[in-house]
Structure 1
Amino acid sequence: MPTLTTRARTGLLAAAAATLLTTGALHPATASAASAPAGPPAHATAAVLDLDDSGRSPVVRGEDTAYDTASIVKVDILAAALLQAQDAGRELTAQERAHAEPMIKQSDNAAADALWRQIGRTDGLTAANKRLGLTSTTSGPGGKWGLTRTTAGDQMRLLRAVFDGDADDAPAKTGATALNAGSRAYISTLMNQVVPEQSWGVSAVGSRQSLKNGWLQRVTSGLWDVNSIGQVSVNGHRCLVAVLSNGSASMAEGVDLVERTARTAVAQRLSGPPGAAAGRR
């Protein structure tokens, strides 16, 4: 995939920050690209699964601790809405789709607010995550869905529930409690239609990407949470990749950290022996 020039990258990140401002997610004073005060070094954790490997085992690179989700939780919110629709024996309504599509493709926060309320906020997301096999994700309090806490391992479980439904051990193979084929196809289609200015992150690893990114500047520290999850094609391999990070001094530094971490983690996974067991590096 072509590498963005510095000018192009700056323009895309400025557009992304502008999107946050227009939806009220950040106060203008906190959306600045200026570096935050010095603090602990930024760090990141990645999880990778090669869907074309015989072992089909995910590998976690780094300490699998909890991070703020920021907007990657929007995939989880949509999964919860789809599970509730399945339980009712129906598809999403036109109004629900009108919220779901901008929420994923444009990362629209007002649309996420609407679906968050509809699923029952914390209770609804918690119930859905139990069915999807997520064990280390804690919903954000009240309306603060972006402060949901999760791990790279749990984001891999969510990605498998969407993209790995044919695997015998995938979360989606849990019968009536899981996303059906139509729900999985709907989520993956929307993740494949993310607007160009938000196509950074795991997309740096390969082509034919379906992704969702999240970014948030914390008011207390001025530092950035930057995350990216999705499916990419790398040298003929379909890979699920989740990278979570925090502590970056700017959004641009966070994006660079996420992309470097994704490249390293995927390269290490694909260079390993076929059927390698899951583990931490």
Structure 2
Amino acid sequence: MSRNRFRGSTLSASVTAVLLLAGSAAGGICLAGRSSDHAPRASASVSSVPAAGSTAVPATTTEEPTVDFDAALAAAVEPLLTDVGDAEVSVAVLDTGSGARAVYGDGAYDTASIVKVDILAALLLRTQDEKRALTAGERGYATAVIEWSDNASATALLRAIGGMEGLDAANERLGLTGTTAAHAWGLTQTTAADQLTLLEAVFGTDSELSEGSRTYLQGLMGQVAADQQWGVSAAGSSWALKNGWMPRTTTGLWDINSIGRVKADGRTYLVAVLSGGQRTKETGIALVESVAKAAVSVLDAAR
């Protein structure tokens, strides 16, 4: 069900061997001998020209094996989908330290309430452009929309940024190429890869968002209400997240999404899991959490 893009990272032969052993035990890590589109080309080492009368040394070429993290992620996720009916899932993960990333699935999904991070990011971009701080009212809406997932506050902030057009314009600045805003904001369409790009804008340093804006948004995502602390948080600790959940009236099935940052084994990961067609909210949460844990484990095993 996945049409994944290859985004591998070049590893040393010794690390690759560890990953191969770990994958054999887990039944799913795949290795590929092709170069990553993000890694430098494997270098060729050639001996110098021999002096006259000396014995020539044959030229040697060394090539480090690479890991196809997309394939490894697919192998880890697909066994989790054997008993989920018609539900679909997509996930994207990034190790912020090494830069290794992987994506499973390239379809578009309803955002449900994860779009509230996007809406607030758009508002923060606007205040930066206007060289002003958030008003007291905007701060109230921002707290309610992220920590409590308040829908009325999201509608108010969407109006403040110029509606659908304002959100689309902000997403262009943030580098989201597969996200299309909807007037009914929960029906905004997005991809896991785009949500990972959004997380990089919020938690990274190379961002249109200022340091102050990033710190503010991160703080809110680290204080969501207790009954909303599920999802990607299952994959580690020191989380900061936003979840989305929405039953579709036409089918009675659920959209269940989770995006955020977690720490595991001393590493920091950004994770975005999107899903649709879930039978219940509870089964959807369980699947999203298992997929998030699988995604982090794939990159963690590469160490």
Give the TM-score normalised by the residue count of structure 1: 0.77
3-state SS of paired residue (2:179): coil
Q: Which residue of 2 aligns with 1:7?
A: none
Q: Does 1:49 align with 2:89?
A: no
Secondary structure class of the residue paired with 1:137: coil
Task: Give the distance between the partners of 2:90 and 2:165, measured in 1 at CA.
Answer: 27
Q: Aligned-pair distance for 1:40? A: 5.4
The CA distance in 1 between the partners of 2:148 and 2:302, in whole Å, is 36
1:117 maps onto 2:159 in alignment: yes
Partner of 1:66: 108
Is the aligned partner of 1:99 residue 2:141? yes
CA distance in 1, matches of 2:85, 2:235: 27
Indicate yes or no: 2:190 matched with 1:150.
yes
SS across alignment from 1:248: coil
CA deviation profile, 1:126-181 (whole Å, cap 9, x unmatched):
000000000000001x2x0000000000000000001011xxxx4x1xxxxx1100
Shift, 1:234, TM fit? 0.5
- Aligned-pair identity in percent equals 54
CA distance in 2 between counterparts of 1:111 and 1:97 reads 10
Query: Taking structure 2 as the reference length, what is the TM-score of the superposition?
Result: 0.71
Q: How far is 1:225 from its partner? A: 0.3
Q: Which amino acid aligns with 2:274?
A: L
Partner of 1:218: 248
Equivalent position amino acid for 2:93 in 1:
V
Mark the structure with the bigger radius of gyration.
Answer: 2
Tell me the equivalent position of 1:30.
Answer: none
SS in 2 for 1:134: coil
* Aligned partners of 2:100 and 2:299 also within 8 Å: no
What is the deviation of 1:57?
Answer: 3.4
Deviation, 1:64, is: 1.5
Matches of 2:90 and 2:141, distance apart in 1:
30
**Structure 2 residue aligned with 1:256:** 286
What per-residue deviation string (whole Å, max 9, x for no partner) do you get for residues 60-97 of structure 1? 12x11100000000000000000010000111111100
Q: Which has the higher contact order (CA 8 A, sep 6+)?
A: 1
Give every structure 1 segment of 4 or more consecutive aligned residues whose post-TM-superposition deviation is greater than 6 Å: none
Q: How does 1:234-249 map to 2 (within 5 A)?
A: 234-249=264-279
Aligned Cα RMSD in Å? 1.1
Given the alignment of the two structures, is residue 269 of structure 1 paired with residue 299 of structure 2, yes or no? yes
**1:103-130 Cα deviation digits (max 9, x unpaired):** 0000011111110111111000000000
Map of 1:21 onto structure 2: none
Unaligned runs of 5+ in 1: 1-38, 173-177, 274-281
Structure 1 Cα separation of the partners of residues 128 and 170 of structure 2: 12
CA distance in 1, matches of 2:228, 2:101: 25
**CA distance in 2: counterparts of 1:205 and 1:244, whole angstroms:** 15
SS for the counterpart of 1:44 is strand
Matched position secondary structure for 2:277:
strand
- The unaligned stretches of length 5 or more in structure 2 are 1-83
Deviation of 1:272 after TM superposition, in Å, equals 2.4
Q: Secondary structure at the match of 1:129?
A: helix
Q: How does 1:116-135 map to 2 (within 5 A)?
A: 116-135=158-177
Question: Separation in 1 of the partners of 2:134 and 2:233?
Answer: 28
